[in-house]
Amino acid sequence: MKSYLAAAIQMTTVPDLSQNLIQAEELIDLAVRQGAELVGLPENFSFMGEERDKLAQGDKIAQETQTFLRKMAQRFQVTILGGGFPIPVENTGKVYNTALLIDSNGEELARYQKVHLFDVNVPDGNTYRESSTVMAGQELPPVYSSPDLGNIGLSICYDVRFPELYRYLSKKGADVLFVPAAFTAFTGKDHWQVLLQARAIENTCYVIAPAQTGTNYDRRQTHGHAMIVDPWGTILADAGEKPGIAIAEIKPSRLEQVRRQMPSLQHRVF
């Protein structure tokens, strides 16, 4: 593993696939021009709209999104995480919320289907039922081992509330944890930052958290603040509330230092 720059992209995705992919390309280009070698896109980066529209366009969204990720990775010669988009599940009427990690040759390195689905009545009056259109993944998320970028663990949004998933990733040797998200504005203001810092601190890992921001459609508002957090819990970059990027250096020397100073993973009893 070497030192390198990583970027967490922040978008305001809307119910228009083409418009979203144009926005994503512009932000990938911005990240690469600033030196990023690992780029993460948020959950729902290619489409965010009514559930019925997502299902109606499911095949198109899945095909065009996967083609887009491969083209971007090859064109910019970077590793890209597509942080969550729908892939239809045959004969179910539902989709998997899928994250793909793609290398600079356009090859798939890792795939993860979100296991924790957001079925919540938020106190601001909004109700979310992700399981109405999404099928929960059945497999634990992967850790992809890159000689240059380190051991990269995948997750998606609501997963961040389940520390056992990240403990599993750390036991598998993760150095970097991806948490692409579309956190609600209401829950994000209280929980987003502290959860990211907790996952970084307790697992002594870097956390790269791409995010959605602003008004995506109708009453759907997302929190923003795409972040990169270091293994000590220090926030290295925060994209704020507008579309853009959070970019920071991932350093193996910092990982080693924190793990030496706070060897909590070696002290686990249970």
Q: Going by C-beta distance under 8 Å and a sequence separation of 6 or more, which residues neighbour residue 56?
A: none
Over its C-alpha atoms, the chain yields an Rg (Å, rounded) of: 17
Active site residue 94: no
Active site residue 114: yes
Catalytic residue among 37, 43, 54, 64: 43
d(CA 134, CA 100): 17
Q: Which of 203, 213, 157, 149 is nearest to 180 (CA)?
A: 157
Catalytic residue among 37, 64, 157, 205: 157
Phi, psi (degrees; rounded to nearest 5) at 80: -125, 135
Cβ(160)–Cβ(187) under 8 Å?
no
Catalytic residue among 37, 54, 64, 114: 114
Phi, psi (degrees; rounded to nearest 5) at 100: -125, 135
d(CA 19, CA 121): 30
* Catalytic residue annotation: 43, 114, 157
